Structure 1
Amino acid sequence: MDEQRLSSRELADLVNRAVGEITGRIGGLDDSSIRAWRSGRVRCPKRVQLHALELVSGLDASALGFVRRTRLPALTPHQEPPVERRTLLTAAVSAAAAVAGTSSSAPASPRRVSMADVARLRQRFTDIIASDHRHGGQTSIEREAARLAAEALTLQTSGAASQRVRTNIYATAASFMSSAMWAAIDGRRFGDARNHLRAAAELAELSADPAITFRIWSHAGTLFRYQGRSAEAAAANDVARGLSLTRRDPLFASLGLARHAAIHAAAGERQAAKRAFGQAQEAMARAGRGEVRPVWLTAFYDEAEIHSLALSAYLTLGDWATAEAHGHRCLAVLRPHMHRSRAITTARLARAQLEQGEAATAVATAMRVPADSAAHHPRVVGMLDAFGHRLTQIAPGSAHTASWQEFTTTKGHAQ
């Protein structure tokens, strides 16, 4: 509860929903029930409550501090046990998404949920986006996004609401889960990212919102690409590109094409990658500037992002000179708030220069990566580790290698 910032009432609501999944009837726990567990006044919850708590938290009874009275019955075939240990709220959001539509089973409440509640949640989503662009890949961002998704779903049972409000709440919850998913991808926590993908996809389907559906499956394509699963990456990205939204708005089409180009590169398809990048730039040129678009899209996707993806793609293909050219173009037009993107682009640019035999220039470029990203962002840390290893291979014993080693030691970049 402390880690996930849950009140006794919030945890009771989550366990009640999980009880509903097991028995078909929402549980009747309240905040006093949780306080009784925590104080030790109740030595162990009832069997079905303990079972529900285990499903929600991903922990067994002993890890939660309880001793089973008797052995719990096995899960029935339709109940899916956790494949991997999930964070509390990742599991909770998945459970909540499955039963949130049964709000009529919850106690009656005089409160009416409105679009004003949705607007407040969307402001929190804007804050998550800003934090991601500044820091990226951090578990704190992932957990906060998952917590806010659960908070959004709690609104579904907190009072009466119109269908429009309910679909917007689902879309907002899906947005938060897609950000949790992206933070896990960016931080190379791929198992957590897959769990978030399942929850986000369920919520997006409930919302029927094509924009957030696009974001989720486009992220899924990136997840599979990072894992070296090019066929699945292409299939996931095709789901995003196949939405009617991409035919209505060239900016969505452009992003889908640019990410598909990177997937082509990962599969070694040089000409297909080049063609897709060209199509992405053409689509961006057709995109109207006055269109109303989601904040997650407008906050990052522009010409700089196309060059960033091209830099990554041509590094994968071993076309170092073309990669370097895209790296310089990206940095030239990158917006000031894109701190994480600047660090990643600079690290990739250094690698492109190094592979062309320009050790001195490459080391100078690598030294421009901000210290915070170099020490704490998982992707950047990995890139700089690979850069140092490759530098040692290309120029062992050189003054440039010695300079880099001294720099990483004194600046704390070395991991």
Structure 2
Amino acid sequence: MKRRTLVGGIAAATAAAVAPGTAAPRRIGVSDVERLQDRFAEIVASDHRRGGQVDIEQRAAALADEALTLQNAGTATQRVRRNLYAAAAAFRSSAMWAAVDGRRYDTAEAHMRRAQTLAEMSGDQAIKFRIWSHAGTMYRHMGRPADALAANDVARNLHIARRDPQFAALGLARQGAIHGAAHAQTSATRAFDQAQDAMLRSDPDEHRPMWMLAFWDEAELHSLALSAHLSLGDYATAEFHAHRCLASLRPQMARSRAITTTRLAHAQLAQGDTDTATATAMKVPADAATEHARVSRMLREFSAALRATAPSSTAAQTWTEHTTAWRATA
């Protein structure tokens, strides 16, 4: 009896001594993943409003780190851990895209490498597709069409792109834009025709990730076709796709509207319609014109082309006054 009492007392004392310094490990669950997914939706929405900004890139990278911190914050099922890696990869891919959109390519490549590693750890086919497809777009903007095609082919050869026609359509449309940048007109036309066919075959009720639903539609297809035909020098067709894109763009796609409007102005100017082109370019909001790297660069190119083709025109004078006002408010 005394022995049992002694052993019980030692056990109780030991438990009392240990308890204050130890806590049961936290259980990481589905609610934690859902919270991160809500934050991801915020990042995507910010990108569509103000794409390319450094603060979007930094927020996305910080949230990727937050998702990884959760991996070591407690216990979780294997499914939850995979979802955490997928969330981290998604945030990194958004950081990558913000850097691409802002023409910060060295930073974008660093984000891409980290995102690719995280995506492999997650096993998530959709986020792998997003990262490799973004890589193809990045290399296209960098003027490296061979690398762009190779990266985009990785995305297109994933199982999800073979199974779901919507993923196939996005991969084909981006391939068409790459072919346009490489001045391969026949290949570009074929890719866009195939993309359109794939979209028509897709099941609209099939579950797809939020990031895809947020942007991929007929307007984006026309946007990519616009980019391709501008590169090919087929300005009338480029103008057609620009109008189709603008007519179907969702209201929240402010960044896409600014890019498309700028490209439309280029297509109109290349066809000799200086007055219409200038009026179109003046529709680009001042914040996009001065703060978005891609839009700013394209508008500088528009200014140079306008001065070269019609230096003494009323349109050129009007445009100069308009851009001066932009700089004054920037």
TM-score greater than 0.5 by the shorter chain: yes
Does 2:77 align with 1:162?
Answer: yes
- In the alignment, the residues of structure 2 paired with residue 211 and residue 265 of structure 1 have an alpha-carbon distance, to the nearest angstrom, of 26
Does 2:302 align with 1:393?
Answer: no
Which amino acid in structure 1 is aligned with residue 265 of structure 2? A
Identify the range of structure 1 (132-141 vs 262-271) with the bigger mean alpha-carbon deviation.
Answer: 262-271
Q: Percent identity?
A: 61
Give the deviation of 1:265 after TM superposition: 1.0
Does 2:133 align with 1:218?
Answer: yes
Does 2:282 align with 1:367?
Answer: yes
Give the deviation of 1:284 after TM superposition: 0.6
Does 2:163 align with 1:248?
Answer: yes
Give the deviation of 1:398 after TM superposition: 1.1
Matches within 5 A, 1:20-35: none
Give the deviation of 1:198 after TM superposition: 0.5
Contact kept, 8 Å, 1:385 with 1:414, in 2: the verdict is no
Give the deviation of 1:113 after TM superposition: 0.3
> Number of residues paired by the alignment?
309
- In the alignment, the residues of structure 1 paired with residue 145 and residue 85 of structure 2 have an alpha-carbon distance, to the nearest angstrom, of 30
Which amino acid in structure 2 is aligned with residue 270 of structure 1? Q
1:355 to 246, 260, 270: 270
Which amino acid in structure 2 is aligned with residue 181 of structure 1? M
Contact kept, 8 Å, 1:408 with 1:414, in 2: the verdict is no
1:278 to 190, 193, 199: 193
| Unmatched tracts of structure 2, length 5 or more | 1-21
Aligned to 1:346: 261
Contact kept, 8 Å, 1:109 with 1:158, in 2: the verdict is no
Residues 108 and 312 of structure 1: is their aligned pair in 2 closer, same or farther, counting only changes over 3 Å? Answer: farther
Residues 108 and 255 of structure 1: is their aligned pair in 2 closer, same or farther, counting only changes over 3 Å? Answer: farther
Give the deviation of 1:108 after TM superposition: 8.0
Residues 148 and 414 of structure 1: is their aligned pair in 2 closer, same or farther, counting only changes over 3 Å? Answer: same
- In the alignment, the residues of structure 1 paired with residue 152 and residue 89 of structure 2 have an alpha-carbon distance, to the nearest angstrom, of 18
- In the alignment, the residues of structure 2 paired with residue 396 and residue 358 of structure 1 have an alpha-carbon distance, to the nearest angstrom, of 14
Q: Whose Rg is larger?
A: 2
Contact kept, 8 Å, 1:392 with 1:401, in 2: the verdict is yes
Does 2:185 align with 1:265?
Answer: no
- In the alignment, the residues of structure 2 paired with residue 396 and residue 108 of structure 1 have an alpha-carbon distance, to the nearest angstrom, of 74
Deviations 1:92-127 (A, max 9, x none): xxxxxxxxxxxxxxx985211001100000000000
Query: Which structure 1 residue ranges, 4+ long, deviate > 2 Å from structure 2?
Result: 411-415
Aligned to 1:301: 216
Contact kept, 8 Å, 1:109 with 1:160, in 2: the verdict is no
Which amino acid in structure 1 is aligned with residue 256 of structure 2? S
- In the alignment, the residues of structure 2 paired with residue 185 and residue 395 of structure 1 have an alpha-carbon distance, to the nearest angstrom, of 33
Does 2:64 align with 1:149?
Answer: yes
RMSD: 1.3
Aligned to 1:127: 42
| Unmatched tracts of structure 1, length 5 or more | 1-106
